[in-house]
Amino acid sequence: MTDSPIPAKIIFILADPKATGEEFISLSGSLYRQNLIFSEPRELRRDKNSLELIVIFRDNNSFKNWSKNTEIKEFWQTKFDKLLSAEPKTIKERDVIIEVDNVINCACKKSDFYILQGRSLQFTDELTCSNCFGQISYSKVPLEIKLEDWQTKHERVYLNWLESGLFEKEAFKELTNYKKGKLNLEGEKIRKQLSDFFQIPVYISYFVEEPDNNHPCLVCGQGGSDSGLKRPSKICKACNTIFGYDDK
């Protein structure tokens, strides 16, 4: 019998009822990078001094032993001991319909380069291989490279723009400030760290309101060179950007 995914909630009881619990927001990213859960939860719910994280564990072993994972223990056990009144409690969810996104991971032994883009919608692949267009699993990325944190921030800004609400103009300004915007500067930092770690070029695809094949490099304004791909068709090696999205 195949070991099936398990929907569950992880409950944290804060030792200090007045604490915000913000320290635990990025735990889901750690669980995902360690290949313990499917996708990344988008919210950490709070009820009084209790925090609740809804996840889908990959299998029964992940459900039972996630807190014993070496990386989780190293980076989170101190916070559990310091900020919680008891160890986290993991409870199976009942009557839940599981829908796991169909993610195809890269299995290439050698890739020419990787493509990095900020997260926009839930099922967007944010770090992909240029050869097979498979996703580079976050479990391959060291925790020291704050890829998940940056992706979460990017998605929040993107959704503020998409919803055309109170923060639409501010969000658009942040997304399109390619040279000095904090969000894009952090993305460039992540891109360089990934390139240094994987020892291959990593090119970043910046947000464009209407992607096409006409706009130049968003950083330097040059036309770039052939990427070797149909889409995206251009790269700027000077600025480490990739662009050109012709729908034809």
pLDDT tens sequence across 51-105: 998 888 888 889 999 999 998 999 899 999 999 999 999 998 876 555 555 557 7
Query: Which of 107, 106, 127, 114 has the alpha carbon at shortest distance from 235?
Result: 114
Evaluate if residue 178 carries a pLDDT over 80: yes
List for the chain the helix, strand, coil content (%; round to 5). Answer: 30, 20, 50
Is residue 73 within 8 Å of 27, Cβ to Cβ?
no
When comparing pLDDT for 101 and 168, which is higher?
Answer: 168
Longest dimension (CA), the chain: 58
Evaluate if residue 243 carries a pLDDT over 90: yes
Q: Put the strands of the sheet holding 114-117 in their side by side order.
A: 127-129, 114-117, 202-205, 241-243, 234-236, 225-226
Q: Which pLDDT value is given to residue 133?
A: 87
Range 114-140 average pLDDT: 83
| Domain limits, CATH 3.30.70.100, in the chain | 6-92
CATH 3.30.70.100 fits 6-92, yes or no: yes
Measured CA to CA in angstroms, residue 158 lies from 4, 167, 173, 207 at distances of: 33, 10, 11, 9
When comparing pLDDT for 138 and 145, which is higher?
Answer: 145
Residues 6+ apart with CB under 8 A from 52: 9, 10, 11, 12, 44, 45, 46
Query: Which of 61, 62, 46, 40 has the alpha carbon at shortest distance from 123?
Result: 40
Residue 247: pLDDT band (50, 70, 90) is low
When comparing pLDDT for 159 and 218, which is higher?
Answer: 218
Q: Which pLDDT value is given to residue 236?
A: 96
Is residue 31 within 8 Å of 148, Cβ to Cβ?
no
When comparing pLDDT for 49 and 194, which is higher?
Answer: 194
Q: Which pLDDT value is given to residue 224?
A: 93
pTM of this prediction exceeds 0.85 = no
Most confident of 90-94, 138-142, 201-205: 201-205
DSSP codes of every residue in 45-102: EEETTEEEEEEEESSHHHHHHGGG-HHHHHHHHHHHHHHBSS--EEEE-SS-------
When comparing pLDDT for 180 and 58, which is higher?
Answer: 180
